[in-house]
């Protein structure tokens, strides 16, 4: 090891020659002045010596830099002093143990820990670098109390010292581990010898004798069994811990090389950082502290590396010891199991013997019991037999629990092996086949144990109930004596009293023992319930693991490597054996086959009648007076009955094929079960396709009842026929070949037929779902610009491309994945069609109900004479938007639930998205004593998918929940339309806000992180889009303050209309011309508006009119009041009022004031009143005069000659002779 060499400052400067270079010298000269030759160790030196040399060189370079910078800076802490000249500069030894002092040079005194005054020595060599904990803490204390340091320098100095202290603590921790590994490695041979001796002793020991049970009671035996079971549980736990240790040790031995490589890389990085040049402006004390921290870090990493190496040696040295401990634990477990089994057998034997004794005693008591007590003795015998049966059930529970535990252990082992194989490269094909087989078995196992779990829980309840009922089985000797006395027996006789006491004692004994047995039985059931739940949890974990991986593993070779079946003999053998089995089944029960055949022939014979009845029902729906929903229900029943004819034949065949073979013949039984399942599935598929075709039959449900377009129905029905003929045989053969043992059948027949089926499905979807086709073309045209129309090429391409993509997936080898997805796609399609039919049925029911209501109203009008008799032949009655909205919401909810049920077991396959990392962020959590814990959270593709789902769900909920809320809740509350609209709108805003916040939170965009960005963005938008924000805030004010509401009639400026919508930016008014006026919300808040229906809907109408001078004013007043009171729209309170206003120039002016409820009555009421007033005045002869004016001419005689001269054509006889002429103005 390189020993530290003391240097004095002047000697060091003379050696290096760096201080003599003036600061103004050229760069080259200064660079040459700073050079010095490294101390090269011999070529044969080891790595440790080289590291010591590098450390010494680096220390020298640091001292040179400090000495060169000290005089120029004029810093006091590094002035030469006599004290510092006598202290040696000792480079740290990185390989010495923690807490040890650096060794001095030969012949020098040992270096002690530096005094506080020496920690920041000036102008001389710094104090010896000591990396002990005490030395660093002393430096921290000295730096904290130093008064001649700047605060920035002090903070940085303390930071480096604390880092050095942390690294020293870490190094001590690693050294502790090294010592522990070395100690336990040295103890391994001794421990191995002890364990092997214990194993030899146990193997040489004689088997334990059966426990002595003759002198022990049943209660004592139960206590011994409880102790033995407790010991058995401890031994099992010990074995489990050792198995976990073996697993963890194997995983740890695999990860140690990676840890060593990472630590080596960190060590090299620390060495490079030590060798790096210091910044020119770094204060000298900080440079020393930084150097100490880096050296401490290097020391800690070296200790970590050595700990890893010792850990490897430790595992190697104790491998045999761990195996021996496992063997010893297994022997102890077997011994504990044998002891528990022995005690259990003893208890069972003792209990059975006691039950036999009780049986014998009960029979004897029954034989000699008196007549009044015979029922008591009989009940005692029944309780004894009940206990006998309970004992058998207790033994069965014990056996079931052992079986569950064994299966749980086997399943745990299988799952570990499966995970091991899945993590091994190159075994994908093998693991894929293994997973597919295991998944089928595990799915069946889960169903079996779920049923068993329900049965166990029911038995637990029954056991608890029965244990509570046993309290009522106790006997009372006095009551039995009273019964005997009432029957005329002498109760004072000794035999009678002894018989009563015997019956009471027997009853008490058997009830107590039966209660204890039921208690033990319940405990056993509870334990079995817990073990079964553990098994189910492990089964679900295994299924989840398989579902996560099985879809992404190739199940076959690519199709171009097609392999034909290797042997045709098994197929011929299986089918040739199945035919005789079916023949035997026919001979055993021919009545069953005959009944099925007769039923099939009966259904076939009524097919024409069913079709005729469907046509008749459809024609009746065209007659409104005869239409009802019962016609639709009847048509649905007939359609289902027609569709089930041929599928029922397949289901009967499936039933008989499944029961034809005996489970004893394993090969034939498997073949029959496979064929039966295939027949049942193809029968179900045939039923669905047939039902869909019959729904689309002419005059069927779709055309006559749901009012779907006839041309689209015929087009879809025609293409559905050939699709059925292709998919049914293809699906049948694909299922058979996929489950065959020989994969050649799948490759030769199954996969090509699967490609044919997917191609046929793609062609069907292309023709039926074509955006410009007869099925969807008119619907998209009617909703041009809608969501479906905008994205028509996207969803059409997806629908057509999905089967083709699945065909390609199967062709390249992922046939299992393609088949699973294809089956679920078909199920999803039928689920969507089912919900569509249900939605159509609900719409049909509402339409029929509204039509019936409309007809009833027309009949009431005709009966009351208020309207002329007129037949109503409306075909479609409009359903309110809210009702349609809630139906759509229920349909969407049902669709989501259906898709979830169908695709739930495939969702774990998407867990790969959790491994696709996108970005990460740090979360700070406040702890105790102001400590802050930082946690790095990684955002994966799964988080992004979750955020997308949340946004889609938010959109759907925001569109549908307000309507549902209004129909289900708000309409039942005493709220007007405006209040309901305001609540629904606020609910929509809240749903949107919560959904957006939840979506962004799921990808790490928390409010505390983005609030400043949102604030800045908001300020920018506030300036740029201030009008938009003003209208948005005004919209909120309108919703909460409600100066206007939906349905109100308002006037703003010169525009009037009805409020139809209040949106985020603007409000929509519909005027009398049915034109929609879009008015910004700010106009309603800052401007003046007239709300005709805000708080009081009552409006006054004033009609001003005049009658001719000389008319009867009282008659005019009475006529006006009569007309007003006769109008049904005029309110009685406030009453109508007629006022004689004034004497006008042309008429006597009257004013009629009436009140209406609502502006809709106001407009039509004004018309009706005007018409009625005109008719009444005409009938009464009251004149409504024209406006007129009298002109008096005083000098008519002088003017007439002049008029004749200017107008000679005027005839004198037609001119007025009087001096007065009346000139009437035209009527306005």
At residue 900 the predicted structure's pLDDT band, cuts being 50, 70 and 90, is confident
More reliable by pLDDT, 1211 or 376: 376
Residue-level pLDDT at 450: 92
**Backbone angle region of 1042, left / alpha / beta, with phi > 0 → left and psi within -120 to 50 → alpha:** left
List of residues 6+ apart from 872 with CB closer than 8 A: 624, 854, 855, 858
Check: CB of residue 504 under 8 Å from CB of residue 376.
no
pLDDT-based confidence at 806, cuts 50/70/90? very high
Average pLDDT over residues 490-515: 80
- CB atoms near residue 833 (< 10 Å): 14
pLDDT band at 936 (very low <50, low <70, confident <90, very high): confident
pLDDT over 70 at 930, yes or no: no
Query: What's the rounded Cα separation, in Å, for the pair 1002 and 475?
Result: 68
Between 663 and 252, the more confident residue is 252
Does 448 score more than 70 pLDDT? yes
Tell me which of 911 and 1199 has the higher pLDDT: 911
Structure confidence at residue 927 (pLDDT): 57
Q: CB atoms < 10 A from the CB of 612, how many? A: 10
What is the C-alpha to C-alpha distance for residues 1203 and 1102, in angstroms, rounded to an integer? 48
Is a pLDDT exceeding 90 seen at residue 1184?
no
Residue range 14-42: average pLDDT?
37
Distance CA 636, CA 630 (A): 10
Q: How far apart are CA 618 and CA 880, in angstroms?
A: 25
CA 954 to chain centre: 14
Cα-based distances in Å from 1136 to 1093, 1095, 1127, 1141? 21, 22, 11, 16
The H helix count followed by the E strand count for the chain is 35, 12
1015-1041 pLDDT, tens digit per residue, is: 665 666 566 556 666 777 777 777 766
The predicted pLDDT at position 1200 comes to: 66
Q: Is the pLDDT of residue 730 over 60?
A: yes
- Average pLDDT for 323-352: 86
Across all residues in the chain, what is the average pLDDT? 78
Residue 940 pLDDT > 80: yes
pLDDT digits (tens, 9 = 90+) for 198-250: 999 888 877 766 666 667 777 788 888 888 888 888 988 898 888 888 888 88
**Beta strands 1189-1192 and 1220-1223: pairing type?**
antiparallel
Cα gap 481→489, rounded to integer Å: 9
Dihedrals phi, psi of 124, to nearest 5 degrees: -120, -165
Does residue 307 have a pLDDT over 80?
A: yes
pLDDT in tens, 671-690: 888 889 889 999 999 999 99
* pLDDT score, position 302: 92
On the CB side of 635, CA atoms within 13 Å amount to: 31
606-659 confidence digits (pLDDT tens): 999 999 999 999 888 888 778 888 999 999 999 999 999 999 999 999 998 888
pLDDT score recorded for residue 1210: 57
Instruction: Report residue 300 as tokens.
Output: 């800690």
User: Tens of pLDDT along 490-499?
Assistant: 666 677 778 8
Q: What mean pLDDT is predicted for residues 1164-1193?
A: 84
CA 1048 vs. chain centroid, Å, equals 43
pTM of the model: 0.63
User: For residue 569, with 0-12 CB atoms within 10 Å meaning exposed, 13-18 middle and 19 or more buried, which class applies?
Assistant: exposed
Burial of 42 (0-12, 13-18, 19+ CB in 10 A): exposed
Rounded Cα gap, residues 680 and 673, in angstroms: 10
Burial of 922 (0-12, 13-18, 19+ CB in 10 A): exposed
Q: Do domains 1019-1095 and 1098-1185 have the same CATH topology?
A: no
**Max intra-chain CA distance, the chain:** 168
Pick the closest to residue 249 from 177, 190, 316, 183 (CA basis). Answer: 316
pLDDT digits (tens, 9 = 90+) for 572-610: 666 677 788 888 888 888 888 899 999 999 999 999 999
Q: For domain 1098-1185, give the fold.
A: Alpha-Beta Plaits (3.30.70)
Interior CA angle at 283 toward 280 and 285, to 5°?
135
* 1218 pLDDT above the threshold of 70: no
The partner residues of 1100 in beta bridges, in order of sequence, read: 1155
pLDDT of residue 430: 77
For residue 26, is pLDDT > 60? Answer: no
Q: Which pair of tokens denotes residue 1107?
A: 């009658």
H or E element at residue 471: none
Q: Residue 1084: pLDDT above 70?
A: yes
pLDDT at 942: 85
Strand partners, 454: none
Task: Give Cβ neighbours of residue 1203 (< 8 Å, ≥ 6 apart).
Answer: 1210
Q: Which among 765, 763, 914 is positioned nearest to 832, based on CA atoms? A: 765
Q: So where are the chain's domains?
A: 1-82, 369-552, 570-881, 1019-1095, 1098-1185, 1190-1223
Residues in the chain: 1228
In contact, 1008 and 1021? CB cutoff 8 Å:
no
Query: In the structure, what pLDDT confidence band is assigned to residue 1010 with cuts at 50, 70 and 90?
Result: low
Looking at domain 1019-1095, which CATH architecture does it have? Answer: Roll (2.30)
Q: Specify the DSSP class assigned to residue 1130.
A: B
* pLDDT of 111 over the 60 cut: no
Q: What is the pLDDT of residues 380-414, one digit of tens each?
A: 888 888 888 888 888 899 889 889 988 998 888 88
> How far is Cα 887 from Cα 879, in angstroms, rounded to an integer?
11
How confident is the model at residue 1021, as a pLDDT?
57
Least trusted range by pLDDT, from 646-660, 856-870, 1160-1174: 856-870
* pLDDT over threshold 70, residue 164: yes
User: Given pLDDT bands bounded at 50, 70 and 90, which one contains residue 34?
Assistant: very low
Residue 272: pLDDT over 70: yes
């Amino acid at each position: 090891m390189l020993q530290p060499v003391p240097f004095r400052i002047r000697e060091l400067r003379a050696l290096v020659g760096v201080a003599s270079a003036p600061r103004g010298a050229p760069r080259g000269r200064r660079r040459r002045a700073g050079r010095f030759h490294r101390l090269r160790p011999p070529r044969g030196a080891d790595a440790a010596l080289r590291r010591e040399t590098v450390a010494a060189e680096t220390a020298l370079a640091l001292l040179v830099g400090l000495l060169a910078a000290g005089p120029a800076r004029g810093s006091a802490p590094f002035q030469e002093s006599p004290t510092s000249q006598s202290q040696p500069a000792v480079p740290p030894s990185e390989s010495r143990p923690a807490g040890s002092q650096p060794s001095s040079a030969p012949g020098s005194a040992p270096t002690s820990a530096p005094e506080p005054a020496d920690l920041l020595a000036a102008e001389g060599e710094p104090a010896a670098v000591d990396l002990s904990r005490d030395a660093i803490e002393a430096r921290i204390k000295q730096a904290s109390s130093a008064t001649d340091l700047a605060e920035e320098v002090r903070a940085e100095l303390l930071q480096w010292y604390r880092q050095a202290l942390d690294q020293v603590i870490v190094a001590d921790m690693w050294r502790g581990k090294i010592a522990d590994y070395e100690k336990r490695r040295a103890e391994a041979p001794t421990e191995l010898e002890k364990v092997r001796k214990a194993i030899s002793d146990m193997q040489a020991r004689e088997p334990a004798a059966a426990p002595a049970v003759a002198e022990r009671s049943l209660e004592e035996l139960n206590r011994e069994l409880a102790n033995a079971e407790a010991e058995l549980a401890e031994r099992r736990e010990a074995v489990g811990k050792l198995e976990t240790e073996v697993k963890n040790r194997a995983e740890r031995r695999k990860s140690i090389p990676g840890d060593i490589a990472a630590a080596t890389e960190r060590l090299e990085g620390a060495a490079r950082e030590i060798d790096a040049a210091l910044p020119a402006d770094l204060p000298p004390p900080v440079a020393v502290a930084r150097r100490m921290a880096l050296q401490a870090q290097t020391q800690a990493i070296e200790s970590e590396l050595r700990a890893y190496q010792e850990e490897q040696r430790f595992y190697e040295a104790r491998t045999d010891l761990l195996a021996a401990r496992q063997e010893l634990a297994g022997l102890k477990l077997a011994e504990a199991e044998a002891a528990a089994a022995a005690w259990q057998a003893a208890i069972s034997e003792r209990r059975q013997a006691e039950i036999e004794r009780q049986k014998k005693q009960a029979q004897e008591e029954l034989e000699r019991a008196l007549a009044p007590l015979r029922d008591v003795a009989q009940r005692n015998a029944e309780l004894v037999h009940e206990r006998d049966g309970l004992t058998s059930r207790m033994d069965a529970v014990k056996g079931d629990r052992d079986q569950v535990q064994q299966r749980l252990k086997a399943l745990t082992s299988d799952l570990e092996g499966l995970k091991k194989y899945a993590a091994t490269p190159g075994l994908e094909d093998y693991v894929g086949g293994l997973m597919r087989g295991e998944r089928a078995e595990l799915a069946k196992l889960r169903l079996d144990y779920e049923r068993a779990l329900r049965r166990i829980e029911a038995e637990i309840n029954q056991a608890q109930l029965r244990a509570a009922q046993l309290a009522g089985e106790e006997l009372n000797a006095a009551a039995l004596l009273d019964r005997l006395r009432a029957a005329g027996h002498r109760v004072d006789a000794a035999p009678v009293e002894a018989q009563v006491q015997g019956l009471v004692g027997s009853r008490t004994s058997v009830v107590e023992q039966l209660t204890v047995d039921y208690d033990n039985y319940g405990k056993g059931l509870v334990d079995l319930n817990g073990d079964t739940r553990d098994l189910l949890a492990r089964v679900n974990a295994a299924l989840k693991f398989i579902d996560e991986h099985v879809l992404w593993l190739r199940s076959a070779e690519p199709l171009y490597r097609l392999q034909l079946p290797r042997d045709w003999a098994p197929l011929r053998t299986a089918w040739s054996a199945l035919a005789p089995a079916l023949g035997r089944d026919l001979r055993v029960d021919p009545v069953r086959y005959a009944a099925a055949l007769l039923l099939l022939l009966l259904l076939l014979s009524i097919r024409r009648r069913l079709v005729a009845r469907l046509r008749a029902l459809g024609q009746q729906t065209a007659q409104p007076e005869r239409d009802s929903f019962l016609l639709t229900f009847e048509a649905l029943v007939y359609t289902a009955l027609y569709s089930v004819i041929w599928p029922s034949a397949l289901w009967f065949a499936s039933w008989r094929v499944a029961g034809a073979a005996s489970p004893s013949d394993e090969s034939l039984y498997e073949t029959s079960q496979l064929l039966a399942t295939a027949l049942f599935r193809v029968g179900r598929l045939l039923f669905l396709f047939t039902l869909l075709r019959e729904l689309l039959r002419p005059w069927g449900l779709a055309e006559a009842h749901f009012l779907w377009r006839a041309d689209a129905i015929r087009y879809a029905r025609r293409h559905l026929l050939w699709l059925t003929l292709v998919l049914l045989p293809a699906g049948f053969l694909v299922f058979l070949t996929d489950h065959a043992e020989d994969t050649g059948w799948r490759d030769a027949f199954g996969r090509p037929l699967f490609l044919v089926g997917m191609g046929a499905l793609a062609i069907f979807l292309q023709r039926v779902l074509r955006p410009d086709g007869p099925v969807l073309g008119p619907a998209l045209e009617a909703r041009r610009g809608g969501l479906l129309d905008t994205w028509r090429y996207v969803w059409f391409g997806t629908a057509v491309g999905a089967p083709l993509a699945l065909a390609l997936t199967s062709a390249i080898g992922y046939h299992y994945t393609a088949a699973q997805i294809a089956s679920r796609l078909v199920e999803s399609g039928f689920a969507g069609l089912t919900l569509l039919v249900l939605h159509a049925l609900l719409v049909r029911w509402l339409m029929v109900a509204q039509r019936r209501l409309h007809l009833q109203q027309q009949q009431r009008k005709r009966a009351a004479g208020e309207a002329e008799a007129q037949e109503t032949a409306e075909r479609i009655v409009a359903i309110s938007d809210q009702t349609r909205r809630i139906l759509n919401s229920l349909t969407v909810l049902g669709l989501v639930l259906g898709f979830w049920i169908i695709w739930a077991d495939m969702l774990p396959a998407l867990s790969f998205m959790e491994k696709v990392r996108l970005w990460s962020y740090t979360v700070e959590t406040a702890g105790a004593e102001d400590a802050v814990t930082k946690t790095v959270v990684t955002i994966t593709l799964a988080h992004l998918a979750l955020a997308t789902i949340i946004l889609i769900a938010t959109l759907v909920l925001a569109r549908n929940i307000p309507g549902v809320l209004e129909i289900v809740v708000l309409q039942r509350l005493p709220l007007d339309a405006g209040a309901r609209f305001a609540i629904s709108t606020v609910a929509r805003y809240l749903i949107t806000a919560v959904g957006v916040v939840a979506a962004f939170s799921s990808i790490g965009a928390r409010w505390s992180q983005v609030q400043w960005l949102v604030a800045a963005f908001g300020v920018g938008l506030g300036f740029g889009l201030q009008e938009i924000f003003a209208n948005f805030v005004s919209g909120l004010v309108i919703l909460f303050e409600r100066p206007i509401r939906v349905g109100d009639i308002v006037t703003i400026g010169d525009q009037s209309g009805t409020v139809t919508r209040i949106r985020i930016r603007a409000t929509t008014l519909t005027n009398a011309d049915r034109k929609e006026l879009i008015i910004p919300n700010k106009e309603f808040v800052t401007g003046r508006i007239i709300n005709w229906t805000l708080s009081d809907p009552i409006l006054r109408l004033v009609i001003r009119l005049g009658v001719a001078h000389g008319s009867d004013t009282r008659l005019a007043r009475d006529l006006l009041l009569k007309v007003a009171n006769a109008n049904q729209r005029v309110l009685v309170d406030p009453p109508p009022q007629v006022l004689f206003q004034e004497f006008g120039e042309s008429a006597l002016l009257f004013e009629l004031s009436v009140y209406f409820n609502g502006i809709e009555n106001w407009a039509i009421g004004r018309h009706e009143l005007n018409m009625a007033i005109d008719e009444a005045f005409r009938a009464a002869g009251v004149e409504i005069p024209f406006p007129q004016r009298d002109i008096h001419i005083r000098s008519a005689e002088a003017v007439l000659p002049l008029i004749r001269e200017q107008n000679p054509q005027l005839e004198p006889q037609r001119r007025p002779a009087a001096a007065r002429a009346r000139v009437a103005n035209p009527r306005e």
